[in-house]
Amino acid sequence: ETYETLRQWLTIGRFVPGERIKIRHVAAELGVGEMPVRSALQRLAAESALVNVPNCGVTVPRLSRAQFDDVLRVRLILEGQAAELGVPH
């Protein structure tokens, strides 16, 4: 649940690019221990959704203009296709 919640928060922009995610704050907000948050953050970092900065913690990556354009292009294609496939149902 912690992983899914953090993933959703990243998707909706709850954290801003460059922001350092503090384990204690997230754990308190979710009402869970620090270990599930730490595990979820490590998993998201392994998926490149977050950046693990040595001696600093985990941060939200900053996207270049080209990276942002790529993400936007892929989302437009996928969301359009999902809507097209969903119409008959």
Q: Which domain holds residue 34?
A: 2-62
Has residue 74 been placed in a domain? no
Q: Secondary structure of the chain in the HEC alphabet?
A: CHHHHHHHHHHHCCCCCCCEECHHHHHHHHCCCHHHHHHHHHHHHHCCCCEEECCCEEECCCCCHHHHHHHHHHHHHHHHHHHHHHCCC
Give the pLDDT confidence of 24-45 residue by residue, as tens digits. 999 999 999 999 999 999 999 9
Q: What is the pLDDT of residue 68?
A: 81
Domain count, the chain: 1
Q: What is the pLDDT of residue 67?
A: 84
- Global model pTM greater than 0.85: no
CATH code of the domain in which 58 resides: 1.10.10.10
Has residue 51 been placed in a domain? yes
